[in-house]
């Protein structure tokens, strides 16, 4: 099981390195493409992906498969591997990957991104992973969101982000779940641009009676009065939360909001609409479970599960009944009382 955790951590860092490689020069073009109807998030009038999203996802898949060879067909992500008519895949060498990418972007950018793909990772957070109950990888599936908050990523790379928005809101989200029950058991959140681009990783394991997590050297002081929402939340729900004594705060990115709950910077996160997806919540859900919190359906109050069929359109993987994420059971009860 520790090998599963190590695979997800290193895959997240590969994706993070690719994201960071796009910010090393302001003179090159970041390829952006509009998503098709079956892939787009209904929250947005127009939804986009970048070449970095696609490359990061394919690289993360390859990294996971190199550690866990039997998992291949059960590693899924947000993005399809085609952009502007070109199928993105990881080639045998750095030069060959750069050549493929250069059919879409300037060679200087292609070389930097390819270097991020093929460079070895030496990440110290993997040095002292805990002993975790054995879990057969044949029992697992994986969800990947290679670059969550793509709009903030694009604005940040272009230098057009508002203060408190942009690159710090970007996360890489990877979660493993049990194929039998859909329960999330291992989660990783990577924040590539934290601390001026040094980045950070948090993780959690919730399996076989073991609850373990890592959130860095020092936990942030809890602010149990803050409920996070998206900018598109219904006004009547915002009013209910405000009137209850909670402080309502809107920040970008589903992964960014869930990270804040895991770090103790917020008490909960409410989404009444079907605008988050399995890849947004699987990894963070496992971390919240490990910390004594959780993530449930806004409508039914049942745990979200992740073992959907593998051949659905991307839009079918949305958390269609909304979500409530919470730091602990006391907070959940308060939220349910407010919403009722």
Which residue numbers are catalytic?
53, 78, 145, 147-148, 150, 280
Burial string for 300-317 (b: 16+ CB within 10 Å, else e) reads eeeebbbeeeeeeebbeb
Helix, strand or coil, per DSSP, at residue 311: coil
| Token output for 32 | 């952006």
Distance CA 217, CA 19 (A): 24
H-state helical runs in 22-106:
51-67, 94-101
Q: Which of 158, 127, 173 is nearest to 27 (CA)?
A: 158
Q: How far is CA 115 from the centre of its chain?
A: 23
What count of residues does the chain have? 340
Distance CA 258, CA 242 (A): 20
Exposure of 196 by Cβ count < 10 A (0-12 exposed, 13-18 middle, 19+ buried)? Answer: exposed
The answer to whether residues 121 and 17 touch, using CB atoms and an 8 Å cutoff, is yes
CA dihedral in degrees (254, 258, 264, 266; nearest 10)?
Answer: 50
Residue 321: how many other CB atoms lie within 10 Å? 17
| Token output for 209 | 């009676």
């Amino acid at each position: 099981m520790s090998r599963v955790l190590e695979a997800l951590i290193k895959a997240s860092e590969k994706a993070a390195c690719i994201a960071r490689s796009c910010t090393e020069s302001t003179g090159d073009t970041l390829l952006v493409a509009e998503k098709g109807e079956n892939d787009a998030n209904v929250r947005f009038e127009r939804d986009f992906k970048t070449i970095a999203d696609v490359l990061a996802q394919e690289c993360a898949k390859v990294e996971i498969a190199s550690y866990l060879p039997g998992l291949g067909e059960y590693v899924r992500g947000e993005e399809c591997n085609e952009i502007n008519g070109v199928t993105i895949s990881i080639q045998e060498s750095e030069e060959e990957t750069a050549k493929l990418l250069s059919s879409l972007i300037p060679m200087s950018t292609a070389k930097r991104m390819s270097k991020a793909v093929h460079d070895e990772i030496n990440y110290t957070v993997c040095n002292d992973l805990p002993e975790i109950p054995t879990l057969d990888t044949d029992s697992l599936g994986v969800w990947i969101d290679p670059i969550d908050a793509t709009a903030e990523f694009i604005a940040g790379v272009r230098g057009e982000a508002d203060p408190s928005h942009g690159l710090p809101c970007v996360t890489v989200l990877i979660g493993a779940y049990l194929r039998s029950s859909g329960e999330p058991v291992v989660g990783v959140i990577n924040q590539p641009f934290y601390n001026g681009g040094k980045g950070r990783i948090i993780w959690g394991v919730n399996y076989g009676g073991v609850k373990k997590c890592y959130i860095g050297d020092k936990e942030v002081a809890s602010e149990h009065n803050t409920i996070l929402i998206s900018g598109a939340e219904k006004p009547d729900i915002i009013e209910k939360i405000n009137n209850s004594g909670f402080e309502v705060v809107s920040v970008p990115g589903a992964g960014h909001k869930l990270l804040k709950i895991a770090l103790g910077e917020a008490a909960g996160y409410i989404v009444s609409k079907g605008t988050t997806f399995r890849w947004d919540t699987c990894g963070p859900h496992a971390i919240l479970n490990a910390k004594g919190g959780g993530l449930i359906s806004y409508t039914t109050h049942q745990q979200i599960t992740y073992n959907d069929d593998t051949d659905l359109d991307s839009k079918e993987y949305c958390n269609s009944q909304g979500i409530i994420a919470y730091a602990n059971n006391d907070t959940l009860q308060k939220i349910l009382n407010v919403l009722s």
